[in-house]
């Protein structure tokens, strides 16, 4: 054992060799020393267990190949680009909306230098970082002003903390939602320091239920869009318009958590209809919260639009500074919103809408290219077919709606298991993520953002 340990080189010896000096020039002295020590510690453990020296210490060329690999791995960003073939366009686990080219350019510009984030170029003095977004959202939605925070949960929290702390918020029992990550409306209300007043039943709530619940301590009447589930059958709910009329009569503001935040009527593209922010503004809702990275198709952000005096109070709350967005997020969001000023080009320029509206003819061509490439690489080990599929919007938007799509399906044909193939897909330089269903691996092409790169990655199999 002693002789085996003596075969291991000292760290100093490795560092003084030409290959070691090259690694130091590339990665720095501290990083190379740390990895050398790590490798030697593991080698000693290996010798104790196996009574032999690890292969990569049999000659120094192999040692430095191992060191280089470990240093490269240490520097590699672990949030990898993946190819989404799940059929879920806005996949929360895969980062939701893909940024448009305009948003990427704006974000990169903001990263590379200073920007007029809180500086008024015309007045030559400090301004508010939400100024540009607020002006733009007012133009797009008809709201008087807007406020931006880091996500929609934060938007709801800020709204409740500002206007209902220590007071009551009336909401239908059927709208006490839970979304991904265990975000629950009752929990947010608790964090905001307000008191939840449930009205109605799970499936039926009437206007009189809200009316009977209003007291001198009522701060808000709240609606929550149940975007991630549906209650069907014997149901009844109260619209924002009815609630606004009641709120005006009783002098209680009405707020809505719209969630997905559509700024256009999706039905014009043959997609399931979602309520738009503009509709809620027109109905007189005082404040509306929604996401920037769902149906809006942009960056992760929480947006609040509504009356100017209400937005001003949100901006002045201490939580706003805690939840505010940085220059890169705001630049990407502004660029995304500006795409909506040219609605005829939106389907072309906004990746989310582009993916959702692809024709079946386009999908057929994509599926055929993928099928051919997979057949070449998998050597008839699997049964590979093109089949009809059903995609979905995702991220809680229209959960019951299915969008016609096509998928390349892979079924077991030999002893090679689908689970093993799925693992191979995940170990590619850009992992391929599909879905397992009915004993097959489904690669739905509607959710693929970059077909050309995907085909290149398949060649790594």
Convert the pLDDT of each residue in 102-142 to its tens digit. Answer: 999 999 999 999 999 999 898 889 999 999 999 999 999 99
Instruction: Give the mean pLDDT of 330-350.
Output: 97
In this prediction, residue 400 carries a pLDDT of 61
Output the average pLDDT for the chain: 92
Q: Is the model's pLDDT at 416 over the cut of 80?
A: no
The H or E element containing residue 12 is helix 11-16
50 pLDDT more than 80? yes
Q: Does 265 have pLDDT greater than 70?
A: yes
* Cα–Cα distance measured from residue 259 to residue 216, given in angstroms and rounded to the nearest whole number: 29
pLDDT for residue 81: 94
Q: How far apart are CA 407 and CA 421, in angstroms?
A: 17
Q: Answer yes or no: is pLDDT of 99 > 90.
A: yes
pLDDT interval class at 225 (50, 70, 90): confident
- 49 DSSP 8-state letter: H
| Residue 254 near residue 284, CB atoms below 8 Å | yes
Q: Tokens standing for 51?
A: 């009574």
> For residue 61, what pLDDT band results from cuts at 50, 70 and 90?
very high
Q: pLDDT tens-digit profile of 172-197? A: 988 776 665 566 788 888 899 999 99
Of 189, 194, 197, give the one whose Cα is nearest residue 171.
197
The rounded distance, in Å, linking the Cα atoms of 330 and 130 is 8
* C-alpha–C-alpha distance, residues 458 and 270, integer Å: 32
Mean pLDDT over 380-395 rounds to 91
> Residue 127, Cα to own-chain centre: how many angstroms?
30
What's the pLDDT score for residue 12? 94
Amino acid 446: pLDDT: 97
Q: Does the pLDDT value for residue 233 go beyond 70?
A: no
The enclosing H or E element of 193 equals: none
Higher pLDDT, 377 or 178: 377
Looking at residue 182, its pLDDT comes to 60
What is the mean predicted confidence (pLDDT) over 5-25?
94
More confident residue, 84 or 232: 84
The values of phi and psi at residue 297, to 5°, are 80, 25
Compute the distance between CA of residue 204 and CA of residue 235 in angstroms, rounded to an integer. Answer: 5
Cα–Cα distances in angstroms (integers) from residue 211 to residues 174, 313, 449, in the given order? 17, 26, 48
| Weakest-pLDDT range from 62-76, 215-229, 312-326, 424-438 | 215-229
Question: What pLDDT is recorded for position 189?
Answer: 87
Identify the band that residue 415 occupies on the pLDDT scale cut at 50, 70 and 90. confident
228: pLDDT strictly greater than 60: no
Distance CA 260, CA 273 (A): 12
| Token code pair at residue 239 | 């619209």
Residues contacting 60, CB < 8 A, separation 6+: 9, 14, 17, 19
Long-range contacts of 70-75 (CB under 8 A, 24+ apart): 70/35, 70/38, 70/39, 71/23, 71/26, 71/27, 71/31, 71/32, 71/35, 74/31, 74/35, 75/27
Report the Cα–Cα distance between both ends of the chain, in Å, rounded: 41
Which residue from 425, 461, 373 is spatially nearest to 84, judged by alpha carbons? Answer: 425
pLDDT at residue 40, as a whole number:
95
Domain 83-92+354-459 has CATH 3.90.1150.110: yes
pLDDT of residue 413: 85
What is the rounded CA–CA span in Å between residue 414 and residue 234? 50
pLDDT at 203: 79
Tokens of 134: 């607020």
Point out the least confidently predicted range of 164-178, 285-299, 318-332, 418-432: 164-178
pTM over 0.95: no
Q: What residue ranges of the chain are covered by domains with CATH 3.40.640.10? A: 101-349
Residue with tokens 């005096």: 309
Q: Is 54 left (phi over 0), alpha (psi -120 to 50) or beta?
A: beta
pLDDT of residue 65: 94
Decide if 367 contacts 404 (C-beta within 8 A).
no
Q: Enumerate the CATH 3.90.1150.110 domain ranges in the chain, comma separated.
A: 83-92+354-459
Specify the DSSP element, H or E, that contains 437.
Answer: strand 435-437
Question: Residue 335 corresponds to which tokens in the numbers above?
Answer: 């660029």
What does the alpha-carbon distance between residue 124 and residue 131 come to, in Å, rounded to a whole number? 15
**CATH architecture under which domain 101-349 falls:** 3-Layer(aba) Sandwich (3.40)
Please name which of 285, 324, 445 lies closest in space to residue 373, comparing C-alpha atoms.
445
pLDDT at 294 > cutoff 60: yes
Give the residue-averaged pLDDT of 8-13: 94
Calculate mean pLDDT across residues 323-351.
97
| Helix residue ranges, H only, 234-316 | 240-250, 277-282, 308-316
Using pLDDT thresholds of 50, 70 and 90, give the confidence band for residue 260.
confident
Give Cα separations from 292 to 37, 158, 345, 441 (angstroms): 46, 16, 19, 32
Percent of the chain past pLDDT 90, that is, above it, reads 78
Q: Which residue has the tokens 């975007």?
A: 227
Listed in order, strand segments (DSSP E) in 68-203 are: 83-84, 119-120, 125-126, 145-149, 168-172, 178-179, 183-184, 195-199
CA-to-CA separations, 457 to 428, 431, 445, 453, in angstroms, rounded: 7, 8, 15, 6
């Amino acid at each position: 054992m002693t002789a085996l340990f003596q075969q291991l080189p000292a760290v100093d010896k490795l560092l003084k060799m030409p290959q070691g000096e090259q690694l130091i020039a590339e990665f720095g002295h501290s990083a190379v020393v740390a990895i050398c020590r790590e490798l030697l510690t593991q080698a000693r453990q290996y010798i104790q267990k196996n009574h032999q020296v690890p292969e990569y210490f049999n000659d120094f060329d192999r040692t430095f190949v191992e060191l280089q690999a470990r240093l490269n791995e240490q520097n590699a960003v672990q949030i990898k680009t993946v190819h989404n073939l799940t059929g879920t366009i806005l996949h929360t686990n895969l980062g939701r909306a893909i940024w448009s080219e305009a948003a990427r350019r704006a974000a990169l510009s903001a990263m590379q230098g200073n920007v007029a984030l809180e500086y008024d170029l015309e007045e030559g003095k400090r301004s508010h970082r939400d100024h540009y977004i607020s002006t733009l959202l007012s133009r797009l939605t008809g709201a008087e002003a807007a406020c931006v925070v880091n996500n929609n949960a934060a938007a709801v929290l800020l709204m409740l903390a500002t206007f209902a702390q220590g007071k009551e918020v009336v909401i239908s029992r059927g709208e006490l939602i839970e979304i991904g990550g265990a975000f629950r409306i009752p929990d947010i209300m608790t964090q905001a320091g307000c008191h939840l007043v449930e009205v109605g039943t799970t499936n039926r709530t009437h206007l009189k239920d809200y009316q009977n619940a209003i007291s001198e301590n009522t701060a808000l009447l709240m609606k929550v869009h149940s975007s991630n589930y549906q209650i069907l059958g014997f149901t009844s709910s109260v619209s924002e318009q009815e609630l606004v009329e009641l709120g005006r009569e009783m002098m209680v503001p009405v707020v809505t958590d719209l969630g997905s935040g559509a700024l256009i009527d999706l039905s014009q593209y043959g997609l399931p209809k979602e309520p738009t922010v503009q509709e809620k503004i027109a109905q007189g809702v005082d404040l509306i919260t929604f996401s920037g990275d769902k149906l809006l198709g942009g960056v992760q952000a929480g947006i609040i639009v509504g009356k100017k005096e209400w937005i001003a109070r949100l901006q002045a709350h201490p939580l706003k500074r805690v939840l505010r967005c940085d220059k890169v997020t705001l630049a990407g969001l502004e660029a995304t919103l500006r795409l909506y000023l040219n609605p005829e080009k939106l389907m072309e320029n906004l990746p989310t809408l582009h993916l959702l509206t692809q024709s079946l003819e386009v999908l057929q061509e994509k599926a055929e290219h993928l099928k051919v490439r997979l057949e070449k690489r998998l050597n008839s080990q699997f049964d590979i077919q093109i089949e009809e599929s059903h995609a979905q919007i995702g991220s809680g938007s229209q959960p019951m709606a299915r969008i016609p799509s096509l998928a390349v399906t892979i079924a077991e044909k030999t002893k090679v298991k689908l689970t093993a193939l799925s693992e191979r897909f995940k170990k590619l330089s850009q992992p391929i993520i599909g879905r397992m269903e009915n004993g097959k691996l489904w690669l739905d092409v509607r959710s693929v953002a970059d077909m050309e790169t995907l085909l290149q990655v398949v060649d790594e199999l």
